[in-house]
Chains A and B, each alone.
Chain A
Amino acid sequence: MSKLTLNTTPVDARPAPKRSIGAIAWLRANLFQGPINSVLSLLAIWALIAGLTPLIQWAIIDADWIGTSREACSSGGACWVFISARFEQFIYGFYPSELRWRVNLTFVLFAVMIAWLALPRLPAKKLAAVLTLVIFPIVAFYLLHGGSFGMPAVPTHRWGGLMLTLVLAVVGIVAALPIGVVLALGRQSKMPIVKSISVVFIEFWRGVPLITVLFMASVMLPLFVPTEVDMDKLVRALIGITLFQSAYMAEVVRGGLQAIPKGQEEAAAALGMGYWKRMGLIVLPQALKMMIPGIVNTFIALFKDTSLVLIIGLFDLLAIVQAALADADWLGYSIEGYVFVAFVFWIFCFGMSRYSQYLERKLHTGH
């Protein structure tokens, strides 16, 4: 009889099969799972090489970067000289160059406020929100427009470029927020007249394209006010954008309001709070937090839509590049111009959408 032995030391784990680890295994699992996927992958690789090589060749390798006039562009690639020569105009429009420090200061202030609001580690968010929504617009107006505190006035027809794009988008969103809150509360109201006015207002602005709103603001608004009132073109555009945007904002706010359990409001009512106290102290503070991703998404949409003001003759970033393309000195560089504008818009929008996705994940505490 053989003796039974018991081995108590564990056997070493065998290494994973070679085919299931490393680059080869990754390729097998992700690109070449079967005949169809292999063909697709090879086609995609071929398309990428065929498409990207000339693009990189044009945009980077053959491109001209240094110079001041079109004579510098001789190598046949992209002519980025066109952008660098016109860069200041693309950013500031026709703002007088000796006063551009005011725009820069506004940009810096804005960046600081946004960083304060957006970075979760920094304290006193409520103070920051009040400063951004109430104090900053006033300061920015006096800085950009001037005309007081010994600063020469810069009329709005000299504003342009990226600066105007930002002004339109930020004013549009900041002014639309309170109107949107009121409309959303009105839409949830139990009073039939208040409710129907809010619904009609919201659905009207959501149903028409922004272009017709801008047309309306530029041709009909002057008819609506007494003859003596002379409205600035920028102000008219801003009124149109604000009305349009407030309807979208109202829907975002409504989404936030609906996310708050009804028990919260009922509990507040049971404690004897009136309507405005219930809303202002209990419901809205909770709802506003839920709305931030929605507000950021609306802001992205508005930021892209501001480019439409070119149709009513304002020179935002796209319009000023479009105008520069018609310059006889720089004919034929439209692709460079558009790529530059696309890049600027893309950086802003992509950054904001990533931030809103991050917020959504953070706010989504799960149930």
Chain B
Amino acid sequence: MTTPSSPPPRGETPPFWRDPAKRALLFQALMLAALFAVIGFIVSNTLENLDARGITTGFGFLNDTAGFGIVQSLIDYTPQSSYGRTFMVGLLNTLLVSALGIFAATVIGFLMGIARLSPNWLIARIAGAYVEIFRNIPLLLQIFFWYFAVLRSLPSPRQSMSLGEAVFLNIRGLVVPAPVGGAGFGWTLVALAVAVIAAIVLVRWNRRRQEATGDRLPAGWISAGMIVALPALVFVVSGMPLTWDIPKLGGFNFSGGITVLPELLALWLALSIYTGAFIAEIVRSGIQAVSKGQTEASRALSLSGGMTLRLVVIPQAMRVIIPPLTSQYLNLIKNSSLATAIGYPDLVSVFAGTTLNQTGQAIEVIMMTMAVYLTLSLLVSMFMNWFNARMALVER
């Protein structure tokens, strides 16, 4: 060891590598340079490789004719449509199965999460078994199971399983009656919208009135009655202008009604059951996070059981539940891309699959697909953050 170095004399600045601020600047400059070098290397390689394969870059291919059919599309689509249209069809199909999945997974998850805390031993054990079984099996395997082992081994349309001669289940999918609105059915929908708006106004007014005077109306019952009764009344008055298009067996397949593809059904089932198991755990831990003293205190203040649940337990539990619930919703949206394994025409399947294979525009296609998922993730987490901020504890 040398003698301890004496501090630099006054007025003399230390060398720059002893100054943390300057060192940080240098380090970051080096890091940026390295990053740009890597990006430059990748870009030059890519351009060279694309050149060697004769692929022109750019998004011009989106206007070319796709030339392949898609079994399910929510907007008009023919093989003569462009690849841009293909992208939209895939995106909408992804959104459809995600929305269906989020709805069903939430219902299953909340039911099972509450059931796990049931005082009934058997019910709690069944819910526990559900969670432990389904969250420990890969989702892809569950999708394969529902698709290949269950739905693909159903009988042909002629031997369909049927429910009341209106709903049919066969190897081609689930066929359900389609509602057909006649002339004047629009008024029923208008009545429904009016009732919903009136209910919202009533609930808000009731809350203000309660804060001002302490009196409250049973606003929940009144709104529920209003939402059911008003459209029903208009429906009857306008002469019941709704008919059902019942599916009929003609030849080898059903005509009429709405056919839900087996691919969609399998994906929906698997996504909801798999994600539901995770949501059940989140709900259970959220409810358990509310301390027992809260329930007891609210009972001591003579709040009824329902009010305790609604005003004390659920708001506090939701605060714990929402952040992990958001990430489960995001997982579900991302996991819906497994559709490509069974041929449900989602974004990855029709765009990153078929379109990529036909055009060879790997970079553009993959980047667009990734951008869609990134945007969806961002939107969902922004919405849930907003929702969470509303639910969050207002601290002093």
A194 touches B46 (CB 8 A): no
Confirm or deny: A325 has a beta carbon within 8 angstroms of a beta carbon on chain B: yes
Chain A residues whose C-beta falls within 8 Å of the C-beta of B126 in the assembled complex: 44, 48
Query: Are the C-beta atoms of A224 and B46 separated by less than 8 Å?
Result: yes
Are B50 and A223 in contact, CB atoms less than 8 angstroms apart? yes
Q: Which residues of the partner chain A approach B337 to less than 8 Å between Cβ atoms?
A: 209, 211-212
Q: Are B45 and A224 in contact (CB under 8 A)?
A: yes
CB within 8 Å of A: which B309-368 residues = 334-335, 337-338, 340-341, 348, 352, 356, 362-363, 366
**Min CB–CB distance B129 → chain A (angstroms):** 10
Q: Which of A61-69, A103-111, A334-342 contacts B (4 or more CB under 8 A)?
A: A334-342
Report the separation of the CA atoms of residues A306 and B378 in the bound assembly, to the nearest whole angstrom.
25
Is B148 in contact with A325, judged by CB distance below 8 angstroms?
yes
Residue from B42, B120, B137, B144 in contact with A224 in the complex, judged by beta carbons closer than 8 Å: B42
A307 partner residues in chain B, CB cutoff 8 A: 138, 140-141
Check B49 against A345 for contact (C-beta < 8 Å).
Answer: no
Main secondary structure of the interface of A (DSSP, over half): helix
The 0/1 profile, CB within 8 Å of A marked 1, for residues 127-157 of chain B is 0000011001111110011001100010000
B391 at the interface (CB under 8 A from A): no
**Majority secondary structure of chain B interface residues (helix, strand, loop or mixed):** helix
Across the interface, name the chain A residue whose C-beta is closest to B49: A223
Contact, CB under 8 Å: A41 / B31: no
- Residue of B138, B140, B141, B377 with highest tally of chain A CB at under 10 A: B138
Give which listed residue, B31, B46, B121, B136, contacts A193 with CB less than 8 A.
Answer: B31
- When distances are taken between beta carbons in the complex, the residues of chain A under 8 Å from B362 are 219-220, 223
B373 lies within 8 A of A207 (CB): yes
- Which residues on A sit within 8 Å (CB–CB) of B334? 208-210
Proximity string of chain A (197-239) to chain B, C-beta cutoff 8 Å, 1 when within and 0 when not: 1000000101111111001100110111111000000000000
Q: Is B24 an interface residue (CB 8 A)?
A: yes
Chain A 323-367 interface 0/1 with B at a Cβ cutoff of 8 Å (1 = within): 001000000001100100110011001100100000000000000
Could you say which residues of chain B place their CB within 8 Å of the CB of A41? Answer: 120, 122-123
B145 CB contacts on chain A under 8 angstroms: 335, 338, 342
- How many chain B residues touch A (CB < 8 A): the figure is 50
**Chain B residues whose CB sits within 8 angstroms of the CB of A115 once the complex forms:** none
Is residue A158 within 8 Å, beta carbon to beta carbon, of the partner chain? no
Cβ contact within 8 Å between A211 and B24: no
Q: Tell me whether A222 and B366 are in contact in the complex, defined as CB-CB below 8 angstroms, given that A37-B119, A338-B141 are known contacts.
A: no
Cβ-defined partner of A215 (8 Å) among B35, B46, B348: B348
Cβ of A215 and Cβ of B138 under 8 Å apart? no
Contact B119 A222 (CB under 8 A): no
The reply to whether A211 and B340 form a contact with Cβ atoms under 8 Å apart is yes
* Cβ of B15 to closest chain A Cβ, rounded Å: 16
B140 lies within 8 A of A342 (CB)? no
Q: Given A304-B139, A311-B340, do A197 and B31 touch, yes or no (CB 8 Å)?
A: yes
- Identify the A interface with B (CB < 8 A): 30-31, 33, 37, 40-41, 44-45, 48, 190-194, 197, 204, 206-212, 215-216, 219-220, 222-227, 300, 304-305, 307-308, 310-311, 318, 322, 325, 334-335, 338, 341-342, 345-346, 349-350, 353
